[in-house]
Amino acid sequence: MTTQVETQSIVAELEAALARIGVNAASVAGPNPVLTPVTGEQIATTYVSNKADVQAAITAADEAFRTWREVPAPVRGALIKRWGELLTEHKEDLAIVVAAEVGKIHSEALGEVQEMIDICDLAVGQSRQLFGKTMPSERPGHRLAETWHPLGVVGVISAFNFPVAVYAWNTALALVAGDTVVWKPAESCRLSAVATNALLAKAAAEVGAPAGIHQLVLADRHDGEPLVSDPRVALLSATGSVRMGREIAPTVAARFGRILLELGGNNAAIVTPSADLDLALRGVVFAAAGTAGQRCTTLRRLIVHESIADAFVDRIVKAYGTLTIGNPREEATLVGPLINKNSFEAQQAAIAKAVAEGGTVACGGNRVLSDKFENGYYVEPAVVRMPSQTSVVEDETFAPILYVMTYKTLDEAIAIQNGVPQGLSSAIFTNDQMEAEIFLSARGSDCGIANVNIGTSGAEIGGAFGGEKETGGGRESGADSWKAYMRQATNTINYSGQLPLAQGVKFL
């Protein structure tokens, strides 16, 4: 297929999927070009929101909050139940939109929508379990209790690589908690956001939820600024690069707003001599090359015991040779395109820097398919052996590059694993229980996610997701994540008819 024919086919599939979801592509058209990474060509356009639109969305969400917070939580849960049903019904359609905009292979795009359905399930159950504890009072005739209340407006800023799932992680729980939401998706995946928002709007209309509780703004990072600075945004949940976190966090802190940061990772796996190497190989290859290295949890650093390193790297290189790189719309493809030219240039620069820092490219790193898709950026996932953890290894390059280092002792491996500024995901492959337990202990991995005999990517709803250090400290989609979207009040109720003071204080 020529580029033009392929692009036309994507457009036809996209418009049909949008129509089934209830979005007429022409009705959202505007000055913003939507490109597909598959061919690098334009497939649609969207309107854009300016700063005034963002402010208006915050105002509308703030007004809607006054009604929504009074709606009983299980009734709020009914909205999320219906949203989950609609997402199930349109799973294939939304996956088509995501794949067109982000270039994911079909099964990963479906997986992303499944994650939305899973968080809806969790949030619906949660709507009947916003528990507060009661505790014994030290004073007779008194009761102490905690109650949980919604926060207000929650701003959600999301990244391109999970264009819809991370929004759902936040929104399903925030709406159940009684908050209202204003969403600013990444610039490159606005149609996925429009489609997701349409399904939520449909659910809201069907269950009779008040207007205005969920707002979508198609603003760029500059016009999205009110989400950061406006004190009416009680919680800002922001997913993206460490650079973005550094830009916004001081402003939110200066107004004493709450912030939930899900920033870049630089994830490592340790492979020990006792590991099941067949299993480790599959875990490593999926985590390092899957989604073309564009997951926050992508495996970027492999720390292998020196006694098995050469043989294991040979096996990775052979396995990489069998990966089908190419058009994600073809069923056999496992590795699709990078999001854009900038990503490709960042990957090339990182490999050149790694070589300058003493690294040796074991395989990959080249651009492919440029003859077919001149503006599509497809790369061979690279494996680069490094003499040590040099400066390039400490950076997150959002492309498929796996740096391999060796170690002698487990303590040394853990020191390498923890020796980067980020702290998202980590793994150890071992059949030695002591090694596994040490890795999971306080002297082990310093990451928010620490796995045994499974790679660094592929989290499940229910387990808290997020990372330490420069990854930002946020936690989402875990069993107790709802608390991030609520405020806690402590209540002391006196039914004694007396007024004894705490700690035995006497006054009057």
* Shorter beta-carbon distance to ligand NAD: residue 206 or 468: 468
DSSP class of 221: T
Q: Tell me the closest approach of the beta carbon of residue 175 to ligand NAD, in angstroms.
A: 20
* Shorter beta-carbon distance to ligand NAD: residue 40 or 265: 265
Q: What's the CA dihedral at 171, 158, 89, 91 to 10 degrees? A: -150
CA angle (110 as vertex; 105, 111 as ends), nearest 5: 95
Outline where 30-129 has alpha helix (H). 51-68, 73-89, 91-102, 106-126
Residue type, 486: M
Q: Tell me the closest approach of the beta carbon of residue 287 to ligand NAD, in angstroms.
A: 14
Residue type, 453: N
Whole-number Å distance between alpha carbons of 165 and 202:
18
Residue type, 224: G
Q: Tell me the closest approach of the beta carbon of residue 219 to ligand NAD, in angstroms.
A: 8
Question: Is the separation of the CB atoms in 337 and 292 below 8 Å?
Answer: yes
CA torsion through residues 298, 103, 261, 475, sign:
negative
For 242, the token pair is: 């460490």
Among all chains, which residue has been given the structure tokens 């406006």?
230
Residues designated as active site: 262, 296
Q: What's the CA dihedral at 180, 184, 190, 192 to 10 degrees? A: -40
* Shorter beta-carbon distance to ligand NAD: residue 6 or 470: 470
Question: Is the separation of the CB atoms in 116 and 52 below 8 Å?
Answer: no
Whole-number Å distance between alpha carbons of 237 and 297:
18
For 26, the token pair is: 């022409």
Whole-number Å distance between alpha carbons of 77 and 201:
15
- 22 HSE (CA, 13 A, CB side): 13
- 23 HSE (CA, 13 A, CB side): 26
Measured from each CB, the residue nearest to ligand NAD is 240
* Shorter beta-carbon distance to ligand NAD: residue 172 or 309: 172
* Shorter beta-carbon distance to ligand NAD: residue 179 or 396: 396
Q: Tell me the closest approach of the beta carbon of residue 299 to ligand NAD, in angstroms.
A: 13
* Shorter beta-carbon distance to ligand NAD: residue 44 or 164: 164
Can you give the binding site for ligand NAD, defined by CB under 6 A? 157-162, 166, 184, 186-187, 221, 224, 228, 239-241, 244, 247-248, 262-265, 296, 396, 398, 424, 471
Phi, psi dihedrals of residue 206, rounded to the nearest 5°: -65, -40
Which residues lie below 8 Å from residue 204, measured CB to CB, with a gap of 6+? Answer: 79, 211, 213, 214
* Shorter beta-carbon distance to ligand NAD: residue 41 or 112: 112
Q: Tell me the closest approach of the beta carbon of residue 284 to ligand NAD, in angstroms.
A: 19
